[in-house]
Structure formats: C-alpha cells, structure tokens
Amino acid sequence: MRWTCVPFGELQPQQLYDALALRSEVFVVEQNCVFHDMDGIDPHGWHLLGVDDAGRLAAYARLLPPGVKAPEVVIGRVITAPFARGGGLGHTLMREAGEQCQRLWPGLPVTLHAQARLERFYQGHGYATVSEPYIEDGIPHIEMRKEPHA
C-alpha cells in the first residue's frame, strides 16, 4: 500500500476523481444515502489516499484542520473500498490518519463524527464517545474524540 497525504490543491485530477468516485460508491450507492458529499469543505482539508499495488484507491480519509468543521482536528469520510475489505486495511487507514494528524497538527485532539455502528472499531483506536447518538443524513452517528496523549 502506498500512502499519500496532500492538501486539496495538490491532488492530481485522477486522485480527486478516484476519491470522489469511491466516496460516492460507498456512502451514496452502497449505503443508500442521498446526501451532499461535495460539501464545500474538501478545499480546506488534507486528503489521505491509500493506493494498492495495482494503482487502485483502496482507502481514503479527509483530514480537516481545527476550525473548519469543529474546534478540533476532524477525521472524516473514512472509507475502505469494497474490494479491499476484510484484511485489516481499515485499521491501517486509521493509524495512518492519526499519524498524519499528529504530523500536521501536533498535540491537538482529534474528533470523528462516526457512524454509530462503528463505535467499537474507533474505540479500538483510542477514540472515546463524547455525544449521544444523533441522526445525520438518515444514519445514526456519534461524536468521538481522541486526546493527543491517547
């Protein structure tokens, strides 16, 4: 797996296309959720892309600096491609996202607006639930937070 983490302005056209296509494939089609994925926030973030040996985008996350979506750093749009599931890539993606957040914004807490069904997964990466469940785009979510020392 080859990891790249770049600000929006440094994404190559194919990288941007692949990221948006994967987000649409999973969040809109697979999860049957009509929502406005291109929310105007992408240009303010960093984009973490995991590309496999065949050149396919296998994992992706959007990393947002403090003050864009929350007072804290936010990891969002966390996704593993359907073809790449089942081998632990989601865990690798979360470790890489955490490392990149610490590189970009050292010592700051990180927030996730996670699908509630994935609470245990994110807890395994040191995130604690800090909200009651709420509905976002028709799907139960929870806010989770990881302190810099965790």
pLDDT tens digits, one per residue of 28-55? 777 777 777 788 999 999 999 999 999 9
70 pLDDT more than 80: yes
150 pLDDT more than 60: no
Q: What pLDDT does 122 receive?
A: 96
CATH number for domain 2-146, candidates 1.10.10.10, 3.40.50.2300, 3.30.390.10, 3.40.630.30: 3.40.630.30
Q: What pLDDT does 146 receive?
A: 96
Q: How far apart are the first and last CA of the chain?
A: 26
Length of the chain counted residue by residue? 150
Note if the pTM is more than 0.75. yes
Return mean pLDDT, the chain: 93
Instruction: Write the burial class of residue 111 (CB in 10 Å: 0-12 exposed, 13-18 middle, 19+ buried).
Output: buried
Q: What pLDDT does 124 receive?
A: 96
Average pLDDT over residues 120-145: 94
| Torsions phi, psi for 80 (to 5 deg) | -115, 130
pLDDT in tens, 89-101: 999 999 999 999 9
Residue 36: closest CA among 49, 23, 46? 23
Residue 104, by phi and psi: left (phi above 0), alpha (psi -120 to 50) or beta? alpha
Residue 38: closest CA among 8, 70, 58? 8
